[in-house]
Structure 1
Amino acid sequence: MTVDPVLHGDVRIFGGLYFDIKRKVPHYLSDYTDAFSLQCLASFLFLYCACMSPVITFGGLLGEATEGRISAIESLFGASMTGIAYSLFAGQPLTILGSTGPVLVFEKILFKFCKEYDLSYLSLRSCIGLWTAFLCIVLVATDASSLVCYITRFTEEAFASLICIIFIYEALEKLIHLGETYPFNMNNKLETLTQYSCVCTEPTNPSNNTLEYWDSQNITVSDVTWGSLDVHACIEKHGEFLGNACGPHGPYVPDVLFWCVVLFFSTVIMSAFLKDFKTSRYFPTKVRSIISDFAVFITILTMVLVDYGLGIPSPKLQVPNEFKPTRDDRGWLINPLGRNPWWTALVSVIPALLCTILIFMDQQITAVIINRKEHKLKKGCGYHLDLLIVGIMLGVCSIMGLPWFVAATVLSISHVNSLKLESECSAPGEQPKFLGIREQRFTGLMIFVLMGSSVFMTSVLKFIPMPVLYGVFLYMGASSLRGIQFFDRLKLFGMPAKHQPDFIYLRHVPLRKVHLFTIIQLSCLVLLWVIKTSRAAIVFPMMVLALVFIRKLMDCFFTKRELSWLDDLMPESKKKKLDDAEREEEQSMLAMEDEGIIHLPLEGNYKEDPAMVNISDEMDKTSVWKTLTMNTENTKNKDVSSKRF
Structure 2
Amino acid sequence: DMPTPTLFTEMDTLQQDGDELEWKESARWVKFEEKVEEGGERWSKPHVSTLSLHSLFELRTCIQTGTVLLDLEGYSLPQIVDEGMLSPDLREKISFVLLRKHRHQTKKPIHRSLADMGKASGGGARHAQSRSMNDISDTPSTDQLRNKFMKKIPRDAEASNVLVGEVDFLDKPFVAFVRLAQATTLGGLTEVPVPTRFLFILLGPTGKAKSYNQIGRAIATLMVDDLFSDVAYKARDREDLIAGIDEFLDEVIVLPPGEWDPKIRIEPPKKVTSADKRKSVFSLNELGQPNGAAGGGGGLAEDEEIVCVCGRFCGGLFLDIKRKIPWLLSDFYEGFHIQSISAVLFIYLGCITNAITFGGLLGDATDNYQGVMESFLGTALSGTVFCLFSGQPLIILSSTGPILIFEKLLFEFSKNNGIDYMELRLWIGIHSCLQCFLLVATDASYIIKYMTRFTEEGFSSLISFIFISDAIKKMMGSFKYYPINTDFKPDYVTAYKCECLAPDPSESILSLDWSQLSKKECVKYGGSLVGNTCKYVPDLALMSFILFFGTYSMTVSLKKFKFSRYFPTKLRKLISDFSIFMAIMTFVGLDRLIGLKTPKLIVPTEFKPTRPDRGWIVLPFGKNPWWVYLASFVPALLVTILIFMDQQISAVIVNRKENKLRKGCGYHLDLFWVGVLMAACSFLGLPWYVAATVISIAHIDSLKMESESSAPGEQPQFLGVREQRLTGILVFVLTGVSIFLAPILQFIPMPVLYGVFLYMGVASLSGIQFWERIKLYMMPSKYQPDFPFLRHVPLRRVHLFTLVQIICLAVLWVLKSTVLAILFPVMAGRTGLNTSRPVTTAERRPNRKRSHLRWEL
CA deviations on 1:265-317 (whole Å, 9 max, x unpaired) are 10110000000111111111111111000000111111111101110100000
1:13: how far off? 1.0
Point out where structure 1 has 5 or more consecutive residues left out of the alignment: 556-569, 578-582, 595-599, 604-639
Work out whether residues 500 and 530 of structure 2, in 8 Å CA contact, stay in contact via their aligned partners in 1: yes
CA deviations on 1:410-432 (whole Å, 9 max, x unpaired) are 00000001111112355554321
Name the counterpart of 2:252. Answer: none
1:336: how far off? 2.2
SS of the aligned residue for 2:614 comes to coil
Aligned AA for 1:538?
A: I
Name the counterpart of 1:40. Answer: 340
1:514: how far off? 1.8
Aligned AA for 1:378?
A: R
1:188: how far off? 2.0
Over 3 Å counting, the alpha-carbon distance change for 1:83 and 1:602 in structure 2 is closer
SS of the aligned residue for 2:626 comes to coil
Over 3 Å counting, the alpha-carbon distance change for 1:385 and 1:428 in structure 2 is same
**Pair 1:100 & 2:400 matched:** yes
1:129: how far off? 1.0
CA distance in 2, matches of 1:109, 1:340: 18
The alignment's TM-score, normalised by the length of structure 2, stands at 0.62
Over 3 Å counting, the alpha-carbon distance change for 1:512 and 1:90 in structure 2 is same
Q: Which moved more, 1:496-505 or 1:59-68?
A: 496-505
Which structure has greater helix proportion?
A: 1
Name the counterpart of 1:176. Answer: 476
1:130: how far off? 1.1
**Pair 1:476 & 2:760 matched:** yes
Name the counterpart of 1:486. Answer: 770
What are the within-5 Å matches in structure 2 for residues 483-562 of structure 1? 483-549=767-833, 551-552=834-835
CA deviations on 1:11-42 (whole Å, 9 max, x unpaired) are 11111000000000100100111112111111
1:8: how far off? 1.9
**Pair 1:242 & 2:530 matched:** yes
Aligned AA for 2:645?
A: M
1:487: how far off? 1.1
SS of the aligned residue for 2:777 comes to coil
1:231 to 511, 514, 519: 519
Name the counterpart of 1:616. Answer: none
1:181: how far off? 1.6
Aligned AA for 2:308?
A: H
CA deviations on 1:386-434 (whole Å, 9 max, x unpaired) are 0111110110000000001110000000000111111235555432121
CA distance in 2, matches of 1:361, 1:64: 26
Name the counterpart of 1:434. Answer: 718
CA distance in 1, matches of 2:793, 2:695: 33
Over 3 Å counting, the alpha-carbon distance change for 1:601 and 1:8 in structure 2 is closer
Work out whether residues 4 and 381 of structure 1, in 8 Å CA contact, stay in contact via their aligned partners in 2: no
Work out whether residues 3 and 372 of structure 1, in 8 Å CA contact, stay in contact via their aligned partners in 2: no
2:665 to 377, 381, 400: 381
Sequence identity percentage: 51
1:296 to 548, 557, 580: 580
2:705 to 408, 413, 421: 421
CA distance in 2, matches of 1:393, 1:264: 35
Name the counterpart of 2:39. Answer: none
**Pair 1:272 & 2:560 matched:** no
What are the within-5 Å matches in structure 2 for residues 597-612 of structure 1? none
Over 3 Å counting, the alpha-carbon distance change for 1:352 and 1:601 in structure 2 is closer
Over 3 Å counting, the alpha-carbon distance change for 1:503 and 1:322 in structure 2 is same
1:571 to 827, 830, 838: 838
SS of the aligned residue for 1:245 comes to coil
Aligned AA for 1:571?
A: P
CA distance in 1, matches of 2:312, 2:619: 35
SS of the aligned residue for 1:200 comes to strand
Name the counterpart of 1:311. Answer: 595
CA distance in 1, matches of 2:480, 2:677: 38
SS of the aligned residue for 1:343 comes to helix
SS of the aligned residue for 1:46 comes to helix
CA distance in 2, matches of 1:12, 1:602: 36
Q: Which runs of 4+ in 1 moved over 6 A?
A: 600-603
Work out whether residues 285 and 424 of structure 1, in 8 Å CA contact, stay in contact via their aligned partners in 2: no
CA distance in 2, matches of 1:348, 1:229: 56
1:230: how far off? 4.2
1:542: how far off? 2.4
1:330 to 592, 609, 614: 614
CA distance in 2, matches of 1:72, 1:540: 25
Aligned AA for 1:242?
A: V
Aligned AA for 1:186?
A: T
CA distance in 1, matches of 2:489, 2:350: 41
Over 3 Å counting, the alpha-carbon distance change for 1:423 and 1:221 in structure 2 is same
CA distance in 1, matches of 2:484, 2:829: 46
1:337: how far off? 3.0
CA distance in 2, matches of 1:299, 1:128: 43
1:17 to 317, 322, 333: 317
Work out whether residues 308 and 443 of structure 2, in 8 Å CA contact, stay in contact via their aligned partners in 1: no
The alignment's TM-score, normalised by the length of structure 1, stands at 0.82
After superposition, the CA RMSD in angstroms is 2.6
Over 3 Å counting, the alpha-carbon distance change for 1:108 and 1:232 in structure 2 is farther
Name the counterpart of 2:374. Answer: 74
Name the counterpart of 2:436. Answer: 136
CA deviations on 1:133-165 (whole Å, 9 max, x unpaired) are 111111111111111111111100000000000
Name the counterpart of 1:65. Answer: 365
Name the counterpart of 1:346. Answer: 630
**Pair 1:412 & 2:700 matched:** no
Work out whether residues 20 and 384 of structure 1, in 8 Å CA contact, stay in contact via their aligned partners in 2: yes
CA deviations on 1:552-605 (whole Å, 9 max, x unpaired) are 5xx8xxxxxxxxxxxxxx428xxxx9xxxxx8xx79xx99x97xxxxx8778xx
CA deviations on 1:321-345 (whole Å, 9 max, x unpaired) are 0011112211110012341111111
CA distance in 2, matches of 1:128, 1:231: 48
Aligned AA for 2:353?
A: S
1:441: how far off? 0.5
SS of the aligned residue for 2:705 comes to strand
Work out whether residues 135 and 356 of structure 1, in 8 Å CA contact, stay in contact via their aligned partners in 2: yes
Work out whether residues 422 and 434 of structure 1, in 8 Å CA contact, stay in contact via their aligned partners in 2: yes
Over 3 Å counting, the alpha-carbon distance change for 1:234 and 1:546 in structure 2 is farther
Aligned AA for 2:678?
A: L
1:236: how far off? 5.5
Name the counterpart of 1:258. Answer: 542
Work out whether residues 645 and 829 of structure 2, in 8 Å CA contact, stay in contact via their aligned partners in 1: yes
SS of the aligned residue for 2:510 comes to helix
Point out where structure 2 has 5 or more consecutive residues left out of the alignment: 1-301
Q: Which moved more, 1:535-544 or 1:133-142?
A: 535-544
Over 3 Å counting, the alpha-carbon distance change for 1:10 and 1:201 in structure 2 is same
Name the counterpart of 2:567. Answer: 283
1:509: how far off? 2.1
CA distance in 2, matches of 1:233, 1:332: 38
SS of the aligned residue for 1:281 comes to coil
CA distance in 2, matches of 1:333, 1:121: 14
SS of the aligned residue for 2:644 comes to helix
Aligned AA for 2:448?
A: V
1:220: how far off? 3.9
SS of the aligned residue for 2:615 comes to coil
1:465: how far off? 0.3
In the alignment of these two chains, the number of paired residues is 555
Work out whether residues 3 and 148 of structure 1, in 8 Å CA contact, stay in contact via their aligned partners in 2: no
Aligned AA for 1:488?
A: E
Which structure has greater strand proportion?
A: 2
1:457: how far off? 0.5
Q: Which has the higher contact order (CA 8 A, sep 6+)?
A: 1
CA distance in 2, matches of 1:176, 1:3: 47
1:455 to 739, 758, 762: 739
CA distance in 1, matches of 2:303, 2:485: 56
Aligned AA for 1:331?
A: G
